[in-house]
Chain A
Amino acid sequence: MSEFSINDVGIKVGLEIHQQLATNKKLFCGCTPIETEEYSIKFQRKLRAAKSELGEYDPAALFEKSKSKSILYFANPESSCLVEQDEEPPHELDVDAKRISLIIASALKSKIFSEIYPMRKTVVDGSNTTGFQRTMLISQGGYLEVDGSKIGIQSICLEEDAAKILGDEGSVRKFGLERLGVPLVEIATEPFEANPKHIKKIALALGRILRSTKKVKRGLGSIRQDVNVSIKDGGGVVIEVKGVQQLEQLEKVVEYEAKRQYGLLKISKKLQGIEWSHNKNEDRKITTEQFKKCKSKIIQNAIKKNQEIVTIVFKNMRGMFGYSPYEGIRLGKEVAELIRFFGLGGVFHSDELPNYGIELNDIENLKEFLKIKNNAAFLILAVPFEMIDIIVDQIISRIYHIRNDGIPIDTRLATQDGETKFLRPRPGAARMYPETDIPPIIISKNELELAQKNIPKSWDESIKELQSIYEINLQLAEQIFDSKYIELFENIIKNTNVNPTFVASILCSTITNLERSGLDSSLLKNDEIRKTFEILEQKKIAKESIEIIFKNIMAGKSDNVEDAMNKMSIETVDETDLEKIIQKIVDENEQLVKNQKERSIGPLMGIAMKELRGKVSGETVNKLLLKNIQKKL
Chain B
Amino acid sequence: MPEYTGYEGRSLEFLKSNNIVVGDSVKILSDLTYSGIIMPRYEHSDNMHIVLKLNSGYNVGLEIEKIKKVEKNEITRKIIEKKGKIEPTQGLPKILLLSTGGTIASKIDYRTGAVTPILTADELNASVPELAKIANIDAQVLFSEYSENIMPEHWLAVAKKINEFEKSDYSGIIIAHGTDTMHYTSSFLSFSLAGFPIPIVLVGSQRSSDRASSDAALNLIGATKFITTSNPKGVYVVMHLDESDNTIACHLGTRVRKNHTSKRGAFQTIGGSPAFIIAENQIQENFSGDYFKIKEYQPKIKLDTKVALVKYHPGYDPNLLNQIVEMGYRGIIFEGTGLGHIGKTMYESVKKAKGKGIFLGMTSQCIDGRVRMTVYESGRDLLNLGIIPLENMIPEVALVKAMWVIGNYHDSEEIKKIMLQNVASELSD
Contacts and interface: CB of A to CB of B under 8 A. Distances in A.
Interface of A: 43-51, 53-56, 61, 82, 85-89, 111, 113-117, 119-122, 124, 129-132, 135-137, 140-141, 155, 157, 429-434, 436-437, 439-440
Interface in B41-68: 42, 44-45, 49, 51, 53-63
Contacts of A432: 53, 56-59
A61 B212 contact: yes
A572 to B, nearest CB: 58
A88 B54 CA distance: 29
Contact of B213 (A47, A51, A117, A155): A47
A440 B212 contact: no
Contacts of B42: 439-440
Given A49-B212, A56-B80, A89-B262, A431 B57 contact: yes
B113 A434 contact: yes
Interface string B234-248: 000000001111100
A141 B32 contact: yes
A434 B82 contact: no
A461 to B, nearest CB: 28
B263 interface: yes
Nearest to B116: A436
A433 B108 contact: yes
A479 B82 CA distance: 57
Nearest to B45: A440
Interface residues of B, number: 49
Given A43-B243, A49-B212, A87-B264, 18 more contacts: A44-B246, A46-B245, A50-B211, A54-B79, A56-B80, A85-B243, A87-B263, A88-B261, A88-B263, A113-B61, A117-B59, A131-B211, A137-B56, A140-B34, A155-B56, A432-B53, A434-B113, A436-B115
A54 B80 CA distance: 6
23 contacts: A43-B242, A43-B244, A47-B213, A48-B214, A50-B214, A54-B79, A82-B263, A88-B263, A113-B61, A114-B63, A115-B45, A115-B60, A117-B60, A119-B59, A124-B212, A130-B213, A132-B211, A137-B60, A155-B56, A434-B113, A436-B115, A436-B208, A439-B42
- Nearest 10 A/B pairs, CB to CB: A115-B61, A131-B212, A432-B57, A117-B59, A429-B57, A131-B213, A137-B58, A43-B244, A47-B212, A44-B244
B411 interface: no
B306 interface: no
Interface of B: 31-32, 34, 42, 44-45, 49, 51, 53-63, 77, 79-82, 108-109, 113-115, 127, 207-214, 217-218, 242-246, 261-264
A111 B31 contact: yes
Contacts of B214: 48, 50, 131
Nearest to A135: B58
A370 to B, nearest CB: 33
A439 B113 contact: yes
Contact of A117 (B51, B127, B242): B51
Contacts of B210: 50-51, 433
Nearest to A124: B212
A442 to B, nearest CB: 8
A155 B31 CA distance: 14
B82 A56 contact: yes
Given A45-B213, A82-B262, A132-B212, A51 B127 contact: yes
Nearest to B56: A429
Contact residues of B: prevailing secondary structure: loop
Contacts of B63: 114
B113 A436 contact: yes
A447 to B, nearest CB: 15
Contacts of B209: 50
Nearest to A123: B212
A140 B246 CA distance: 43
B263 A113 contact: no
A48 B58 contact: no
B58 A55 contact: no
A432 B55 CA distance: 10
A87 B243 contact: yes
Contacts of B262: 82, 87-89
A274 to B, nearest CB: 35
A436 B108 contact: yes
A384 B50 CA distance: 52
Contacts of A56: 80, 82
Contacts of B244: 43-45
A54 B81 CA distance: 8
Contacts of A117: 51, 58-61
A122 B212 contact: yes
Nearest to A51: B210
A411 to B, nearest CB: 15
Contacts of B82: 55-56
Contacts of B51: 115, 117
Contacts of A47: 212-213
Given A56-B80, A434-B108, A440 B54 contact: no
A546 to B, nearest CB: 49
A175 to B, nearest CB: 13
**Looking at B49, B212, B261, B262, which has the most chain A CB atoms within 10 Å of its CB?**
B212
Nearest to A129: B213
B97 to A, nearest CB: 18
B46 to A, nearest CB: 8
B60 A45 contact: no
A43 B265 CA distance: 12
B178 to A, nearest CB: 16
Nearest to B37: A54
A56 B263 CA distance: 28
Contacts of B80: 54-56
Nearest to B206: A87
Nearest to B109: A436
A324 B127 CA distance: 44
Nearest to B123: A51
B108 A113 contact: no
A379 B81 CA distance: 39
Contacts of A440: 42, 45, 61, 113
Contact of A120 (B62, B127, B211): B211
Contacts of B57: 119, 121, 429-432
A48 B127 CA distance: 10
B61 A116 contact: yes
A173 to B, nearest CB: 14
Contacts of B31: 111, 141
B60 A116 contact: yes
A479 B131 CA distance: 61
Contacts of B207: 86, 130
Contacts of A43: 242-244
A434 B109 CA distance: 10
A51 B49 CA distance: 28
Nearest to B81: A55
A86 B265 CA distance: 12
Contacts of B79: 54-55
A50 B61 contact: no
Given A436-B115, A439-B113, A115 B243 contact: no
A631 to B, nearest CB: 80
A574 B59 CA distance: 72
Contacts of B264: 87
Contacts of B217: 48
B302 to A, nearest CB: 38
B132 to A, nearest CB: 15
A430 B53 CA distance: 11
